[in-house]
């Protein structure tokens, strides 16, 4: 979220903390404030002329009045206020903050108002084309009264960071009566700007890509254009959202894309929720395939699911571009393919064949090391046949 513009806070703090220094205001300007601090008896000087001006306090009286004021120094927080960013949540749980388990019991005294690390649901604020495909899953919360609460960070990557977000609205939020919350867990993937990204092979993936407006395309080709850099920053998020939307509709094993807003992509959380003896609930993200040691039967099931997913990609004319056991989640007996911003068009990208062959060799190497006979060349030939 954008931060408020910086103000000259140091000058404001020095001006507010000049206690004890000479007051540069004239006597008529400062006398009423200083004289008001003095308690004068009501019957004082009853013989005085009402039309005569009130006597002014002496220098000693003014010093005594200033000394009687409560001493309080102004801090930077008084001028700055709370930071509007929602990135302050830290992962908690039995893993010691390693990033796999997250506390889903946020402390919020008033469930109807956003608190620290919260915001109102942005489902209605984005255009219809920026929401996930129909039919929407039953678990998805789309009500306007929902609050998005950031629970912690899931993963850091070369071009984006993924955060765990709970979208929930209590049933009694509108009536004032307590009730069970209507809730779901989401992943907020937030892409960095081009200056802060660490992904340096973008040309290999973006070759042949086109944006909707030709002026945006021309701006992206101009490296000195500020607008071109802004369009390029959102290109990766747009490419992943469109790929997830098409793949989900075609039945591929990918997370459901909830919505996209600028460089933030909200999608389905892949994992489970467990409750400990104290009644506290934690969300545990599904592990990556590279950490798994499946049995022979489960290994064959994983291979069948992965090849079907890659086939769906090929039939849509796409290749993952960076497919590896690190970008595949093992949710129990189900595989889920993630991280598709660098998806490659097999028809328009001149590097598409090399990228697809690299994906095939990477995944086949992992399955072969686990004892499964996986032929990368045969898989590559089959995918090309499905694509063309």
Per-residue pLDDT, 218: 56
Tens digit of each residue's pLDDT (9 = 90 or more) over 75-112? 544 444 444 344 444 444 444 444 466 666 655 556 55
Name 126's Cβ contacts closer than 8 Å, sequence gap at least 6.
259, 260, 261
Per-residue pLDDT, 73: 55
Model confidence at 222: pLDDT above 80: no
3-state secondary structure of 273: strand
Model confidence at 301: pLDDT above 60: yes
Model confidence at 24: pLDDT above 80: no
Among 32-46, 54-68, 98-112, the range scoring the smallest mean pLDDT is 32-46
Q: State how far the Cα of 365 lies from the Cα of 231, in Å rounded to an integer.
A: 37
Between strands 101-103 and 118-120, the pairing is: unpaired
CATH number for the region 286-388 comes to 1.10.510.10
Q: State how far the Cα of 134 lies from the Cα of 119, in Å rounded to an integer.
A: 25
Per-residue pLDDT, 275: 85
Q: Dig out the tokens for 319 from the structure.
A: 């290749």
| Greater pLDDT, 54 or 37 | 54
Rounded (10°) angle between helices 226-250 and 296-315 = 120
Measure Cα distances from 276 to 106, 154, 257, 258, 305 in Å. 16, 21, 30, 29, 32
Domain extent listing, the chain: 84-201+244-285, 286-388
Band (pLDDT 50/70/90 cuts) for residue 386 is: very high
Q: How high does pLDDT run on average in the chain? A: 76
Of the candidates 345, 340, 342, the one whose C-alpha atom is nearest the C-alpha of residue 388 is: 345
Per-residue pLDDT, 300: 96
Cis preceding linkage at 330, omega within 30: no
Per-residue pLDDT, 84: 39
Per-residue pLDDT, 266: 96
């Amino acid at each position: 979220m954008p931060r408020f513009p910086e103000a000259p806070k140091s000058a404001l703090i020095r001006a507010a903390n000049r206690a004890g220094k000479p007051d540069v205001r004239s006597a008529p300007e400062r006398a009423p404030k200083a004289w008001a601090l003095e308690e004068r008896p009501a019957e004082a000087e009853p013989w005085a002329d009402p039309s005569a001006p009130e006597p002014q306090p002496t220098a000693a009286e003014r010093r005594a009045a200033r000394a009687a004021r409560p001493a309080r120094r102004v801090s930077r927080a008084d001028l700055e206020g709370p930071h509007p960013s929602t990135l302050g949540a830290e992962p908690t749980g039995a893993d010691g903050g390693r990033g796999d388990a997250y506390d889903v019991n946020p402390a919020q005294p008033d469930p109807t108002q956003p608190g620290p690390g919260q915001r109102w649901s942005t489902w209605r604020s984005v255009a219809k084309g920026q929401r996930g495909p129909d039919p929407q899953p039953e678990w998805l919360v789309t009500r306007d009264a929902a609050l998005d609460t950031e629970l912690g960070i899931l993963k850091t990557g070369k071009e984006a960071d993924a955060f765990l977000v709970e979208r929930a609205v209590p049933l009694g939020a509108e009536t004032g009566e307590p009730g069970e919350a209507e809730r779901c867990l989401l992943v907020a993937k937030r892409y960095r700007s081009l200056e802060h990204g660490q992904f340096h092979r973008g040309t290999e993936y973006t070759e042949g890509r086109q944006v909707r407006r030709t002026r945006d395309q021309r701006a992206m080709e101009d490296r000195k254009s500020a607008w071109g850099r802004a369009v390029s920053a959102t290109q990766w998020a747009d490419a992943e959202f469109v790929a997830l939307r098409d793949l989900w509709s075609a039945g591929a094993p990918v997370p459901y894309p909830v919505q996209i807003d600028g460089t933030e992509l909200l999608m389905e959380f892949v994992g489970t929720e467990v409750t400990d003896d104290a009644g506290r609930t934690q969300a545990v993200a599904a592990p990556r395939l590279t950490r798994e040691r499946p049995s022979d039967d489960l290994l064959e099931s994983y291979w069948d699911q992965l090849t079907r997913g890659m086939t769906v990609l090929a039939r849509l004319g796409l290749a993952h571009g960076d497919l590896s056991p690190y970008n595949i989640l093992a949710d129990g007996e189900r595989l889920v393919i993630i991280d598709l911003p660098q998806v490659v068009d097999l028809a328009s990208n001149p590097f598409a064949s090399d990228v697809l062959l690299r994906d095939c060799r990477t995944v086949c190497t992992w399955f072969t090391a686990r004892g499964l006979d996986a032929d990368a060349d045969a898989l590559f030939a089959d995918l090309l046949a499905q694509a063309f």
